[in-house]
């Protein structure tokens, strides 16, 4: 594998590996590891198809666009407002997820206050960093990815000798338990935002295709090892995966995980927040007073209403916002055959059953989360 291919794989895998990994041990244990790993495999295959479809759109379109721009070209101007709203609200939910996780990592490093004080301190530092322009520092993204990889690597190496203690559990055929992991898995595996950069770096078709396949599959393998390691170390997984390590691992190990986790969450918070900020200013023409207010207050409001609902928010983000986004990519990809003068670059002869199965994965996640919200 050449340097370009390694960079492309790293770019996509690094974008995918993120906060979603911390939800997986709990949901896998709740549904049984057989079901959890099944959804991890299905989710990876579904996102390989979605990422290839999106790369196809990028390569068949003459000018470079953001997701919203591709939607306007292939779905029409009517799609602008619904998709923009979905993107902004979805990103605000992600920021709220970071706030909830920040409490766990703060306590690992000995933060003196309680949960609320830890979340508010992280929120203040993250919001301040967005508005002073720290997002412009390129190494922040590298720091975020490095922090996540460091945590996963440390947990895996420490728990390597305890994998034989992991109980696979049994498969529950209750539909609410059986489909439970799907939303969090989709949240953890989405890497759509990295595709334009990956394509821009090298437009050689074979390189892009192979990089997308490997760059999507690799995080799934890493996630699987992380789940097994967490369960080996803690026995019973906590909702955030990390809290369950307290008392089961040395103090220095816990502090290191806390430091890496906070750095990674902080830089990710800045990246997502700055992207929303640009959308509000450029796409919606919001004033420089209202846009920061939405970014600052939005995640905080969601946090206040769901301060301990990490798993619930991850499920909503993956099962609703990412599922809708993926379904829109399928729709755009199908519409491109009628609109774009250029032929398909990838999956030139893609059997209809594969498209249907990919769509079914996201519809199942969407339906499950909507039903769950309606009866809760």
CB contact at 8 A, 306 and 99? no
pLDDT digits (tens, 9 = 90+) for 209-257: 999 999 999 999 989 988 888 887 777 778 887 777 776 677 777 888 8
Please state, in angstroms and rounded to a whole number, the distance separating the CA atoms of residues 62 and 294.
34
- At residue 37, the pLDDT reads 92
- At residue 166, the pLDDT reads 61
Rounded to two decimals, the pTM is 0.88
CA dihedral (151, 276, 327, 26) positive or negative? positive
CB contact at 8 A, 102 and 119? yes
CATH number of 3-375: 1.20.1740.10
Please state, in angstroms and rounded to a whole number, the distance separating the CA atoms of residues 154 and 144.
16
Residue 282: DSSP 8-state? I
CA 21 to chain centre: 8
CB contact at 8 A, 269 and 155? no
Please state, in angstroms and rounded to a whole number, the distance separating the CA atoms of residues 190 and 203.
21
**φ, ψ (nearest 5 deg) of residue 179:** -95, -5
Nearest CA to 363 among 320, 333, 314, 312?
320
- At residue 167, the pLDDT reads 61
Full pLDDT tens readout for the chain, 376 residues:
667 778 888 888 888 888 888 889 889 988 888 889 999 999 999 999 999 999 999 999 888 888 888 888 899 888 888 888 888 889 899 999 999 988 888 888 888 888 899 999 999 988 887 777 654 555 566 666 677 777 778 777 776 666 656 666 655 666 667 788 999 999 999 988 888 888 888 778 888 999 999 999 999 998 998 888 888 777 777 888 777 777 667 777 788 888 888 887 887 888 788 878 877 877 777 777 788 888 889 999 998 887 778 889 999 999 999 999 999 999 999 999 888 888 888 877 777 788 899 999 999 999 999 998 888 6
Q: What is the token pair recorded at 146?
A: 């490095």
Contacts of 83 (CB under 8 A, 6+ apart): 67, 68, 71, 328
Q: What is the token pair recorded at 214?
A: 């490997």
N residues, the chain: 376
Q: What is the token pair recorded at 183?
A: 């939303």
């Amino acid at each position: 594998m050449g340097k370009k291919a390694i960079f492309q794989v790293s770019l996509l895998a690094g974008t995918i590996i993120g906060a979603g990994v911390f939800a997986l041990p709990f949901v896998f244990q709740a549904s049984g590891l057989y079901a959890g790993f099944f959804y991890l495999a299905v989710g990876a295959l579904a996102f390989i198809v979605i990422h290839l479809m999106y790369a196809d759109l990028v390569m068949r379109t003459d000018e470079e666009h953001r997701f919203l721009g591709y939607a306007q070209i292939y779905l029409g101007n009517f799609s602008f407002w619904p998709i923009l709203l979905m993107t902004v609200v979805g990103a605000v939910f992600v920021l709220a997820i970071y706030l909830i996780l920040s409490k766990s990592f703060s306590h690992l490093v000995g933060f003196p206050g309680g949960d609320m004080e830890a979340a508010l301190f992280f929120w203040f530092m993250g919001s301040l960093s967005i508005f002073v322009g720290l997002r412009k520092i390129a190494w922040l993204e590298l720091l975020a990815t490095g922090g996540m990889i460091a945590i996963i690597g440390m947990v895996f190496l420490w728990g390597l000798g305890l994998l034989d203690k992991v109980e696979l559990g049994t498969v529950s055929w209750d539909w609410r338990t059986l489909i439970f992991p799907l939303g969090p898995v989709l949240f953890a595996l989405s890497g759509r935002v990295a595709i334009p950069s990956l394509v821009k770096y090298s437009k050689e078709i074979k390189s892009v295709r192979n990089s997308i396949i490997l760059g999507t599959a690799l995080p799934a393998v890493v996630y699987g090892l992380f789940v097994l390691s967490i369960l080996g170390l803690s026995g019973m997984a906590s909702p955030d995966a990390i809290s369950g390590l307290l008392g089961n691992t040395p103090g220095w190990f816990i502090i290191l995980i806390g430091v890496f986790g906070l750095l990674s969450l902080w830089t990710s918070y800045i990246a997502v927040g700055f992207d929303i900020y640009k959308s509000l200013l450029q796409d919606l023409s919001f004033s420089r007073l209202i846009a920061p207010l939405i970014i600052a207050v939005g995640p905080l409001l969601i946090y206040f209403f769901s301060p301990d609902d990490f798993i619930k928010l991850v499920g909503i983000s993956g099962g609703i916002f990412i599922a809708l986004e993926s379904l829109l990519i399928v729709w755009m990809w199908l519409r491109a055959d009628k609109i774009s003068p250029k032929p398909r670059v990838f999956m030139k002869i893609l059997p209809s059953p594969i498209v249907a199965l990919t769509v079914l994965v996201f519809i199942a996640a969407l339906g499950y989360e909507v039903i769950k919200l309606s009866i809760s």
